[in-house]
């Protein structure tokens, strides 16, 4: 039995988007970015989303991450449509299940590396709870930063860090919340080849060692090659590029 690999369909679905419509109105022009797009994210996989620029990859990622509600369709976790929730509950769900990593790192410039990581548990917990668990949270942040090989730049602020270092801090910030799913929007788009590979290695290591589910939007062929599964956004819909060798 153990040598029988489960087919993708029978594996755990972490997040499922179905029938997503999304359009933007610019002046008098209406752009339909997503048209009845559907896709699934399975537990423990690294899914790459590719597509030409402007095809709606970031838009889809924002919808998956509950940042942006779709015009139609659902984003469900365990059969529950999270996209239909009110704004506040979407925010709470986002904090609980989702970790974002952006192309431009998006760290808060006033905070040190550790503080940027700790802001995530601070948002999740009440004032009192946070103060009570502060020591443990800090230890976890340090451990994560260490794991991401940036344990030596803890007290530096983002402007004092290189791009690769900033992205490691951003990944640590996403991971400290132990998200079910890590959504990365071109995480290496702004990095040179070598640094990009280091970051990618980290992400793959996370997947291997911690079974982290990752969705990664990319232009980069290297990423797509390494991913378990690749889907392409084209004309507002997904088409499967390649089944993961698993």
Partner 1 sequence: MYRIFLSIKYLSSRIIPFLAMFAVALGVMSMIVVISVMNGFIVQTRVIARGTLADLTVTPLVTNASQHYLDLIRTAPKVKAVSPHLVRQALVSTGFSGHAATTHKQLRELSFVTVLGIDPALERLASDFERYLANFEEVRDEIGDPRPWQVDDVKEPFSLETEDRRRAAYPKVVVGLELAKRLGIRKGTFVDLMTYAINDEPGVPLEDKFSVLHEKFVCAGVFRSGSFEIDLGFLYMPLEQLRSFSNAPKDDISEFAVTLEDYLFSDQAKEELQELFMTSQGATAIVETWEDKESIFLSAVDNEKRIMAVILFFFLLFACFAIFIILNMMVREKTRDIGILNSLGATFGGILQIFVMNALIISIVGATIGLVGGVLICENVNAIEQFLKNAFGLVIFKPDVYAFDRLPVDMRTDEVVTIIVLTIGLSAISGLFPAFRAARLDPVEALRYE
Binding site for ligand ATP (CB under 6 A): 24, 26, 31, 33, 51, 53-59
Nearest distance from residue 174's CB to Mg ion, in Å? 17
| Contact in structure between 24 and 35 (CB atoms under 8 Å) | no
> Would the CA dihedral through 111, 60, 38, 48 be positive or negative?
negative
Residue 67 binding partner per list partner 1, ligand ATP, Mg ion, none, with a CB distance cut-off of 5 to 8 Å that depends on partner kind: partner 1
| Contact in structure between 173 and 121 (CB atoms under 8 Å) | no
Q: Strand, coil or helix: what is 98? A: strand
Residue 1 binding partner per list partner 1, Mg ion, ligand ATP, none, with a CB distance cut-off of 5 to 8 Å that depends on partner kind: none
Residue 24 binding partner per list partner 1, Mg ion, ligand ATP, none, with a CB distance cut-off of 5 to 8 Å that depends on partner kind: ligand ATP
Location of structure tokens 């369709």: 73
Nearest distance from residue 190's CB to Mg ion, in Å? 12
Residue 95 binding partner per list ligand ATP, Mg ion, partner 1, none, with a CB distance cut-off of 5 to 8 Å that depends on partner kind: partner 1
Nearest distance from residue 86's CB to ligand ATP, in Å? 21
Our finding on whether 58 is near Mg ion (CB under 5 A) is yes
**Position with the least CB separation from Mg ion:** 58
How far apart CA 65 and CA 126 sit, in angstroms, is 23
Strand 72-77 and strand 213-217: the pairing is unpaired
73: enclosing H helix or E strand: strand 72-77
Nearest distance from residue 230's CB to partner 1, in Å? 24
| Contact in structure between 97 and 173 (CB atoms under 8 Å) | no
Point out which residues bind Mg ion (CB under 5 A): 58
């Amino acid at each position: 039995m153990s040598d029988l690999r489960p087919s993708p369909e029978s594996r755990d679905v972490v997040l499922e988007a179905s029938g997503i419509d999304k359009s933007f109105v610019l002046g008098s022009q209406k752009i339909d970015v997503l048209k009845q797009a559907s896709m699934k994210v399975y537990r423990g996989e690294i899914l790459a989303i590719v597509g030409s620029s402007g095809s709606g990859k970031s838009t889809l990622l924002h919808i998956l991450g509950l940042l942006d509600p779709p015009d139609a369709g659902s984003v469900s976790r365990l059969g529950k449509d999270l996209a239909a929730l009110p704004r506040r509950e979407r925010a709470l769900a986002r904090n609980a299940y989702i970790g974002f990593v952006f192309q431009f790192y998006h760290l808060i410039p006033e905070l040190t590396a550790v503080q940027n990581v700790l802001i995530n548990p601070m948002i999740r917990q009440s004032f009192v709870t946070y103060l009570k668990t502060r020591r443990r949270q800090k230890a976890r942040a340090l451990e994560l930063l260490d794991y991401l090989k940036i344990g030596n730049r803890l007290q530096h602020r983002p402007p004092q860090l290189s791009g690769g270092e900033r992205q490691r801090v951003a990944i640590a910030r996403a991971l400290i919340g132990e998200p079910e799913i890590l959504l990365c929007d071109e995480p290496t788009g702004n990095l040179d080849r070598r640094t990009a590979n280091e970051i990618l290695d980290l992400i793959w290591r996370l997947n291997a060692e911690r079974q982290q589910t990752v969705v990664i939007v990319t232009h980069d062929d290297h990423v797509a090659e390494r991913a378990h599964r690749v889907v392409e956004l084209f004309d507002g819909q997904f088409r499967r590029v390649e089944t993961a060798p698993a």
